[in-house]
Amino acid sequence: MPKHLAIALCRVSSTEQLENNSLNRQREVVLKAANELGVMIPDDCWWSGSVSSKRGTNVDRKDLNQMIVRCKKDKRIKYIIVDEPDRFMRSIDEAAFFEVTFRQLGVTVWYASDAELNKGDLAAKLLKFTKYLSAEGSNEERQRKSINGQTKALQEGRYTFCPKPGYMRGDERGIHKPHPVRGQALRKVLLDIVTKRVTPTQGLINLNSSEFMRGHSLYKMDKFRKIATDIYYAGGVAIDKQVKVHNLNGLHEPLITLEQHHELLRIFGGKQKNQTGPRKNGNPKYPLNNIIHCDVCEGKQYNRIVGVDITNGKSPKIYEKYRCRACKRALARGEMHDKITKQLRNNPITDAGVSDLTKALDIVWKRRESENQQEAVRLRHKLASLQESISQQVEAATDPENAAIKSDILTNIAKRKQEAEDIEDQLHRLTRKAEDDYERFLKFAFGFVGDTSQKFLDPLTPHENRLRFKQIVFPAGFRLDANKNVYTPEISELIRLAGNKKDLSITDKSHLVRVKRL
């Protein structure tokens, strides 16, 4: 049995390559190279499939990160065998980065179909660079062709994307036709709105109750607004993304006229949006929303306490209450706030707790510093790969055989140098002294806990800060029991570490809290 192992990477970038048996061909070439190297490829060390490898996407590629993890765990792995460079990736700098990354793990990227690339001398490096330059260039050329092709189709009036709601694929590519059921239902609703027979709101209700929605989820006004004001339904095609085309003369059959489209724009433009979305800082009237849970409804999905304005149905008077979403038990807003204030007042932060917080913050800070050091190591590795790439490109630029692509090489060199300067700046910021930062960090942490305890119910306190404080000081949150008493099942070390006495003083006993179901 071979002493060393290898990982195989077989990749296709299009459906056509998959259908042309490209993966099987790559597999045969990789197995042949493994036999020549005297290594074995275990069954769970094959990575294959359709994976994007264009520039800028490889750092987050799932397959490459899985390989790195596997190589770290199994030191017997000495090679990653690929068919040729563009089957590994289509990016000059990222290819060099990952080759260095694997090399530091004792693993070599081996190109099965081109033995010249595996020699490691200057000629092999230059040849490898030109291969990756060609792969990156062909990928960019493919993107340009795709964008140009879509632009041309749209300029001709063809819509080369998925059919819009109410349409289906036609006999010719890019020329969709109205759906016999959904298209007619949508057309009726749009015309009803144009002729003022119904309002946009009633039109949405009619559409949701029509055959248009059979097998589909109901629409809300925001989605219906986009459809009703889309130029496509008046015969135009418009895209404003990578492809930017606005053509009023689409080749598909329209549902409405251009004049009717303009009338819809006017109608929906005059309709104010009623959906304002969630408040960024919660409801200032009910700062305890979703912070307290109901004991009676334990285990149910909606056992949170939320603030509501209630009337008795007989008079316009509004009663401000906190109410369980499940059982509907309610408690007056003022009473709930008093009970929470009492919990905060009866559980002050002790000196021992402050000492504990200091130690915990020190641990957090050291962990942060450790993460910064790891990030610095990663940046140095990336900087090294960039410098190696720049060196290779400089050599390639001086080679007379590369005269035709010399300007492209010089442009790439300038880009890589700018990236290297950016990384050096990041390294400088990570490695400089941080004593002042640590002092500010401690000051912020203590100030946060102290200020939030005093302003827990203040409507101006950010809701996210209120939640963070609860997590730090009352990690189990607050509960409402069957008798409408508010308590907390657990309080943090900040409060309950009052000292090492054999018995607690009367003052310390006041810090005890009721434990759930005891």
Give the chain's residues under pLDDT 70: 1-2, 12-21, 49-60, 137-146, 242, 271-281, 348-365, 367-368, 430-453, 492-518
DSSP codes, 32-78: HHHHHHT-B--GGGEEEEE---BTTSSTT-HHHHHHHHHHHH-TTEE
Domain ranges of the chain: 5-142, 167-269, 352-432
Q: d(Cα 82, Cα 121) in Å, to the nearest integer?
A: 19
Q: Name the residue type at position 505.
A: S
- Residue 345's Cβ-count burial label (10 Å; 0-12, 13-18, 19+) is exposed
Q: Which residues pair with 108 in a beta bridge?
A: 79
pLDDT value for 513: 45
Q: d(Cα 488, Cα 340) in Å, to the nearest integer?
A: 10
pLDDT value for 503: 42
Q: d(Cα 341, Cα 444) in Å, to the nearest integer?
A: 23
User: What are the Cα distances from residue 53, in Å, to 9, 24, 91, 105, 392?
Assistant: 12, 19, 8, 22, 21
pLDDT value for 507: 40
Contact partners, residue 88, CB within 8 Å, separation at least 6:
9, 11, 53, 82, 95, 98, 109, 111
> Which CATH architecture best describes the domain 167-269?
Alpha-Beta Complex (3.90)
User: Pairing mode, if any, of strands 244-247 and 292-294?
Assistant: unpaired
pLDDT value for 57: 58
Tokens, residue 12 = 């296709």
pLDDT value for 407: 80
pLDDT value for 510: 39
pLDDT value for 518: 40
pTM of this structure:
0.38
**Spelled out in words, what is the top-level CATH class assigned to the domain 5-142?**
alpha beta
Go through 273-305 and write b for each residue having 16 or more CB atoms within 10 A of its CB, e for each that does not.
eeeeeeeeebeeebbbbebbbbbebeeeeebbb
pLDDT value for 227: 92
Q: Read off the DSSP letter of residue 106.
A: T
Q: d(Cα 288, Cα 323) in Å, to the nearest integer?
A: 11
